[in-house]
Amino acid sequence: MSHAGKNLRYLRKLRGWTQEEFANKLNIKRSLVGAYEEERAEPRLEVLEVICGLFKLSLDELLLEDLTASGSGGKTTSSGGNSYLDKRRQMKMSGEVQQIHFVPVKAAAGYLAGYADPEFVDELNTFTLPMLAPGQYRAFEIIGDSMLPTPSGSVIVGEKVSEIEDVKSSNTYIVISKSEGIVYKRIMRNNKLKNKLTLVSDNPIYEPYNVNTEDVLEVWKAQMVITKANTQQLWDVNQLAGLVNNLQEQVSSLKKKVG
């Protein structure tokens, strides 16, 4: 006996979705959701696969188990396990919590000397962000206006880049190097200068510059920017006009160098 209809209704209500909202997520008509829940129709395989992805279930669990069964007193699923909610709680409890070490500006100098020392890193404060995918992350506080509109004092959460070759041109990174220390910049790659990285500020009043790849200690790809509320930088028309002119001059200069 298939529990698909009953389970779909249970899962939808668990998330607080209307039939219309659930239908939009499944890319089907609302009437189909009603038909599935009332067991007037069987969901197509592609719909079932989307539902399994949304709720981290297998097809067997969705079709053959009663996910509404209580895991605390008597009634269990057809396979003898706990309820859906209990399973999700167990998964969260057993999963490794992603600890993100935070490098404030005042610790920047020490980080340059101790970035490879596990004992130094362990002394840094940590926090967690549930929306990040599995990986190795670190957070860095930035100061200055070179990356406006990202304001000074923002915290950049970066994912570790193991190889320089994995750096993608035009993306933003935290770059730790012997010559420049810790900087947050947009990296541009140049096939003619394979042993150098061009670091570009989002604020065009700052000139791009190169760093030797052999001087680079670590690279962290920016994944999230954490800023304080109400600190967004505001630009007036004259400032914007000046920045555009400056940017155009820099682009022309770069084209000449590349050419």
pLDDT value at residue 1: 63
Task: Provide the 8-state DSSP code for 3.
Answer: -
Q: Order across the sheet with 216-226: list the strands.
A: 126-127, 100-103, 137-141, 155-160, 216-226, 172-177, 181-188, 196-200, 209-212
pTM above 0.75, yes or no: no
Site of tokens 């998964």? 91
pLDDT value at residue 142: 96
pLDDT value at residue 198: 95
pLDDT value at residue 75: 38
pLDDT value at residue 80: 44
pLDDT < 50 stretches in the chain: 70-81
Domains (range + CATH), the chain:
3-72 (1.10.260.40), 99-228 (2.10.109.10)
